[in-house]
Structure formats: C-alpha cells, structure tokens
Amino acid sequence: MQLHKTWHTGRIGTSQVRHNRLTLLRQNYPLRFLAPAGIMLLVFFLLPTLVNFVLAFTNWSSFNPSISFNGFDNFAALFKNGMLLRDLRTTLVFAICEAFFQNVFGLALAVFLEEDTVQNKIARVLFFIPVLMSALAVGYVWQAILQPHGALNQLLGAISGRAISIAWLGSTTWTIVLVSAIQGWKWAGLAMIIYLAGLKTIDPEVLEAATVDGANSFQMFWKIKFPLLAPAVTFNAATALLGSMNGFDTIQAMTDGGPGGSTEIFNLFVWRTFGQGTYAQSTTMSLILFLVVMIMAVPVITYLRKREEKIL
C-alpha cells in the first residue's frame, strides 16, 4: 500500500514538472523570437561566408565559362602581387588611427558633456547626428570641404586675408591620417554614449572622497574616472579597431584610394578586383581579410580584458 502511494506520488510529481515546463515554453516562446533573426543570420551571413570560402579555391571569373577548383593558386598569385601587402599595411594604419581618433574624440566629448544640463543634452544629440548619417554622404561632404577651392580654404583665406589653396587630400603621407580622423569624428558620438554610460556608473561617494582628499579635476579624471572606465575602453577600442578594418565607404567617397594608392585600404582593393571580373581572387582577398581580423581580434580583446581585470 505504501509502495503504491509512493509510486503514485512520484508519477504525479513527474507529470507536474512536465506540465510546468510546457506551460513555461508556451508563455515565453523563446524559439519563435529567435527564429527570424536566426534565419536572417543564416541566409545573409553564414551561407554567403561558407560559399565565399569555397569560391576562394576556384577559378571563378567573367573570363571562364565554367568554375573549377584550382587549389591555392589564387593565394599564391595574390601574395606575389605587392599590392596585397601594401593595402594590408594601409588598412592597419587606417584602423589604428581611426580607433585612436574615435576614442579620443568620444572620451573628450563625454567628459565635457557629463553634466545633465539642457545645453549638454542638446550638444550630445548634435554630436551623435554624424553616427546616423550615411558614411558615403559624410565622405562626399568632407571631400568637397577639403578641395583646394573648398570651404575650408575659403574660410582660412577670409581669416588670413589672402588666397589659400592647400591640397588637403593631396599628400601621400598624411591623407590617410586625415581620412581616419574624419572617420573617427563620424563615430565619436557612439563612443561618447558608451563613455557617458560608464561615467554614470561611477559611485558618487568615491568622487566625494577624492574631493575631500584634495584631488583636483585632472587627478579626479586620470586617477579615478579613467581607470573605472576600463570596460567602456575595452568595448570602444575593440569595436573601433576591428570595425575600421572593414572600412570602405568614407575613403571611397573622399579619395577613391588616392593619391597614388596611399589610402587604398583592403576593401577598396577587393572592390576593384571584383569589378575587373576576377571574382575568385576578390573572394580570396575577402577571406584573407576575415582571417586577419580574426587574428587581430583575439589578442586585442584578450589584452583589453586582462587590463580591465587588473584595474577593477
């Protein structure tokens, strides 16, 4: 009798657990919410990426009537071409400079606009507007401003009282730095928001204690606020550096890779190669860029996270 009661109670308990699980699934429907995003990710990212990996080992081009595998011939041909390494180096310079400018501009804006005044709120919105603008539009606007007879030279000429026609985008050395500064300005509003969020999480009591101890504004920022912004620095530095490795539109609009190929980043090289009909080589280059970004991402994120753990 006791055994039958125990078995019956256990059976009811198991049924109740199953019923609760089914009820929870019916209430939350997690898979239904994830399915649209999962389908989009599969169709527009995972499948094209896999196809891209396969096509990199073929002779696919507008000059061949059929597609066949050719092993590592595309990789060998690209590494024999000096433009590949040159454009990779240019891309790295652009990415490092862009990440530097974006974080410096964003942090400066966050510090100066930290107080929640009406003026600061309006300024935050204004500085965030470039983030929402098309990168191509930003590039074309700045390209017009920096022309020898553009708005900047006219403004400088009006101030100095003489004609000025500086070719701002004509230097093979400094144009890449100027373009990366403009790209950093465009995305500085996003970095500003992240840094503002980090500043708002700092305990006011810590700042009050530093004030009582006689810390000035510079010491307050450098010794207290900046170290506590380590998670924000990690996020902004990693996203800016890795995101700018995939840059294309701003440079294409401003310089189209010039002067003399000094601003031709890797994606511009891929775009031109694809336009010439050598499709397999362009997919090979995009695969190489993917691997370079992955190789960079791991040590950069690891270093920043370790630094964050040491500080916090």
DSSP-assigned letter for residue 69: B
Name the strand (E) or helix (H) holding 171: none
147 plus 253 within the same structural domain: yes
Look at the chain and count its residues. 312
| Assigned domain for 186 exists | yes
Domain count along the chain? 2
299 plus 167 within the same structural domain: yes
| Assigned domain for 16 exists | yes
DSSP 110-166: HHHT-S--HHHHHHHHHHHHHHHS-HHHHHHHHHHHTSTTSHHHHHHHHHHTS----
| Segments forming the whole domain that contains residue 81 | 77-311
- Written as six digits, the tokens of 268 are 């511009």
Which pLDDT tens digits describe the chain residue by residue (312 residues)? 444 444 344 444 566 656 666 565 555 566 677 788 889 999 988 898 888 889 899 999 888 888 889 888 988 888 887 788 889 999 999 999 999 999 999 999 999 999 999 999 999 999 999 999 999 999 999 999 999 989 999 999 999 988 898 999 999 999 999 999 999 999 999 999 999 999 999 888 888 888 888 888 888 888 889 989 999 999 999 999 988 988 888 999 999 998 988 999 999 988 998 888 989 989 999 888 888 888 888 888 888 888 877 776
- Written as six digits, the tokens of 153 are 């030279």
| Assigned domain for 66 exists | no
- Written as six digits, the tokens of 134 are 């098309």
| Assigned domain for 217 exists | yes
